[in-house]
Structures are given as C-alpha cells and as structure tokens.
Amino acid sequence: MSDANQVRAMIWVQHLLGIGHLRRAVSIARALADADFDVLLVSGGMPLKGLYLGKAKFKQLPPLQAADATFTSLIDAGGREPDNAFRASRRNRLLALYREHRPHVLITEMYPFGRRQFASEMLPLLEVAHQSRPKPAIVASVRDILTERRDPARSREMAQLALRWYRAVLVHSDPELIPFETTFPETARISHLIRYTGYVGAVGPGGPYGASQEVIVSAGGGAVGAHLLQTALEARELSVLADKRWRLLAGPNLPREWFNALQRLAH
C-alpha cells in the first residue's frame, strides 16, 4: 500500500518487436520508485521474463506485438489479429488501472510520437486523465531517433496531440549529439514542452575500458538480430581483434533454430 504522501506515477509502454522500449521504461520506473514514487508500470507487449522492477509495481495488459518487421499489423499471443472486443478489453483494463492507481504523473512511452495503432486506448486514457481532479501531469517519454515519416501530416498530428494533452516531452538523448529536430520536423511547435534527459540505461558495476578483453556483439531482444550475429561471427577472422574472446548476446527472442545454428558456427 502506498504512503498518502507519495507521488503516484503510472507509465504505459508498448513494445512491438524488440524489447528496448520496455527495458527503458523499466529503468525509469525503477529509478522513480527508488526516489520514493509509488510507480505502476503497465505493459501492453508480450510478457518478458526476468524483469527487475525494484519497488515499482507491474501490470500486464492483454498483449499485442507486431506481426513482422514492417510493423503494419498487430497480432496477439496466439498469432491472431485483434478484433474490436480484444481492443475493448485492453482499453477497459487500462482505464481501470488508471482509476485504481490515481496517478499524479502519467507517462506514455513513445505516444504520441509513435504507437499510432494504439490510439483507440490512448485517446480515452488521455481524456480520462484530463478530466481527473486533481489532473495529473501528462508526460511523453520518447527515444532519440523517430521512425522516418514521409507524410508531413503525420508529424503535424503528433505535434497537435502533444500540444493538446501534454505538459512535457521527455526526450531521452543528448541534443549535442542528436537533437530532436533531426527526425521530428515539427519540433519548433513543441519546443516549450521538450526536456532532454540524456540517455537512459541500467546502471551496473563498471570497470576500466577494455578490461574484459572481449568483443561484445549484441542483438538487443534478438527477434530480428540473427543475421547481425551471423555476420559478426563470419567477419571475426578478418578482424584485428580475431584473437580476443567474442561474446554474442542473442537476446530472449532469438528463434531457437538460429541460436543452435550460431552455436555451431561459433565452435
């Protein structure tokens, strides 16, 4: 049970193919909880084992994922496209969690700068939050580089949603490296909302640069990383670091047949 004096925060996140969005949201949730926020993280993607949330709480919506790397359609855990009833169940569950937690801060990961396919649950959530008393601070959490939009109207729509609903847009990057306007042409319209946070990552024990004497090749979640890992293994003998240990991080979503094939190639 939360302390009456705690600030309550709710984070919505939807990973579609990889797990980076979920990992970043977990890092933010854990950090807020460590700062004595009462945090609820709500995920709409496929469940991922081994998440360490610290003192933050976690709830799973009926999960959806991208059908493939084109991100043009969604499927549920059984490979079926979601119908209206499925979407309604997600929306109702999300709104119920909001009303139960009564957050002072509502954070939407990527939306409205992505996840347009989830507007059927996000817009009702924003409307309910906007009508709440006291009204929570509504904040967008967005990565450094957005997917390229060929239609300028889409970027204008994103900016309009941000202006209508949001108090702040947290951009997880360094503006000296990649300013938001590099991939979002409507940045000037929402510049008063933008707050650069720097990059978000898990904090772990460090060591001197190069102390491990290993070459690390990471495929993130692994769902679409097999060819990267294969290419790295095949290129190893051409590298000036061929004599070092190469450690491939496959990720939890690498297909088993690819994992076995890469193991054979590595040996």
- At residue 147, the pLDDT reads 83
- At residue 175, the pLDDT reads 95
> H-type helices in 37-118, by residue range?
84-101
Q: Give the architecture-level CATH label for domain 8-196.
A: 3-Layer(aba) Sandwich (3.40)
Q: Sorting pLDDT into bands at 50, 70 and 90, what band is 211?
A: low
- At residue 149, the pLDDT reads 74
Q: How far apart are CA 261 and CA 241, in angstroms?
A: 23
DSSP category for residue 37: -
Tokens standing for residue 131: 């009508």
For the chain, the structural domain boundaries read 8-196, 214-266
Q: Sorting pLDDT into bands at 50, 70 and 90, what band is 266?
A: confident
- At residue 54, the pLDDT reads 94
Task: Give the SS3 label for residue 54.
Answer: coil
Q: Sorting pLDDT into bands at 50, 70 and 90, what band is 153?
A: very high
Mean pLDDT value of segment 157-163? 98
What would the pLDDT profile of 82-141 be if each residue is shown by its tens digit? 999 999 999 999 999 999 999 999 999 999 999 999 999 999 999 999 999 999 999 999
Q: How far apart are CA 203 and CA 36, in angstroms?
A: 18
- At residue 208, the pLDDT reads 60
Nearest to 265 by CA among 223, 236, 225, 222: 236
Nearest to 67 by CA among 120, 117, 119: 117
Beta strand pairing call for 65-66 and 74-75: antiparallel
This prediction has a pTM of 0.83
